[in-house]
Structure 1
C-alpha cells in the first residue's frame, strides 16, 4: 500500500485553530480513505461479509488492494452480491461469461477460485454451523490488538495467518496463502493493525 501522507486537516466553522486527524500512513484520499475510516479493522462476524473479504483478498494476490477496492461494486454485481450458495453452482459457461466483464480483474484462476472457495465455504458452514465460528478460532475468538507505530513495522504474515492458511488449504481452499490470510485478518478485524497514532486504533476496539 502507498505510504503517501494521510493527515487530514480540518477547520471549525468559527475559524478556530486547525486540528489534525491522523490516519495510517498507507491511506490515500477518496475510496481508500472511506474504506479505512469505516471498514478496515472492524471486527466482522457476519458470514456473508467474511466470505466477501475472503474472496476479495484472494483476488488481491499480486496486486494492490486499491485495485480490487475500485472494482468491488463490479465484483458484487457479477458474483451475485457474494452469495456463496449461488456462486457454488456456477458452471464453466458462467465463468466464461464473468471473464468478459472488464469491471473485474479477468484472471481465470482467480475467478475459478471464487467458485471453488464458495463450495469449500459451504462445507465449513455445514461442519461448524457458521463460518464465523470456524475462522475466528485462529485468534481465540478475540481481536489481537497490535501497537505498531508505522506501516513498515507490520509483518506480511503471522503465526496465526500461517496456521489459518494451512488449515484452509487442507480443506481445499485456494488463493489463501499466509500473506493473503493476514490481509484478510486485518480486513475483518481479527487483528487491529491500525498504527497507534491513527484515530481508528482505539475506535475499532469499541466495535
Structure 2
C-alpha cells in the first residue's frame, strides 16, 4: 500500500521522489544550500517541478554549482547561459545567480553559510503540524527577516516567499502534513523511527 503523502507531490514520479527523499530533510552542506538557493531563485514565477526537472541541466551549465566559478562569470558566460535550453533562460535570473555567488562568498568570509542560516532557527528544524495544504503559509515573519538580511548582504531573488520555500526545502521548517509519512511524528511512530534524519 502506498504511504500517505503531501498531495502537492502526487502525479509526477520526480516530484514524489523529491518529496520522499529531500523536501524537509535538514540540509547543512554549504554547497548544496547554495545550489538550492540558486534554484529557488530560478523558480520565481514558475512551479518548483519546472526547476526540479532542470536541476541536472543547471548543474552542468553552472559549473557544477561551484560558487567560486560562478562568481567569476562575465558577459560571455551570461550569453552562453542565455542560449542554453537546459535552464530557464531569463537574463535577470542568470545575473542574479552570478551576483548571489559573489554575495555567498562574501558571507562565507565571516561564517559558514550553513551555520549562518541555521542560527535563525537555533540549529533545529521548526516542525509544524498542518492538517491541510490550505494551512501552509507562503511566508512568515521569520522568512521576512531572513530575506531582509540576505538582501542587505547583496543577494537578489530572495523575497520572503522564495526564502520560505527555501527554508521548507532545506528542512529549516518541516511543513509535511500531519498525516504524511515524512512528518516527524509519523517517522517516530514507525518501528525503529526517531523522526527525520539529516541530509547526507
Contact 2:63/2:69, CA 8 A, preserved across alignment: yes
Write out per-residue CA displacement over residues 144-174 of structure 1, whole angstroms, 9 at most, x where no aligned residue. Answer: 0000011111000011100000000011100
Check if 1:177 corresponds to 2:159. yes
1:205 matched to 2:176? The reply is: no
In the comparison of the two structures, how many residue pairs are matched?
Answer: 188
Among candidates 13, 32, 36, match of residue 53 of structure 1: 36
Q: CA deviation at 1:139?
A: 1.3
Q: What displacement does 1:205 show?
A: 2.5
Unaligned runs of 5+ in 2: 188-194
Matched, 1:107 2:98: no
Which residue of the other structure, out of 96, 100, 112, is the alignment partner of 1:117? 100
Q: Aligned partners of 1:119, 1:65: CA distance in 2, in Å?
A: 24
Shift of 1:76: 0.5
Match of 1:191 among 173, 180, 186: 173
- Write out per-residue CA displacement over residues 39-70 of structure 1, whole angstroms, 9 at most, x where no aligned residue: 00000110000001100001110100001011
Structure 1 residues 3-42: aligned runs within 5 Å? 10=1, 20-28=2-10, 29-42=12-25
Residues of 2 paired with 1:136 and 1:56: CA distance? 19
1:13 corresponds to: none
| CA-atom RMSD in angstroms | 1.0
The answer as to 2:101 corresponding to 1:157 is: no
State the distance in 2 between where 1:105 and 1:190 align. 26
Aligned residue in 1 for 2:191: none
Deviation beyond 4 Å, 4+ runs, structure 1: none
What TM-score do you get using the length of structure 1 for normalisation? 0.88
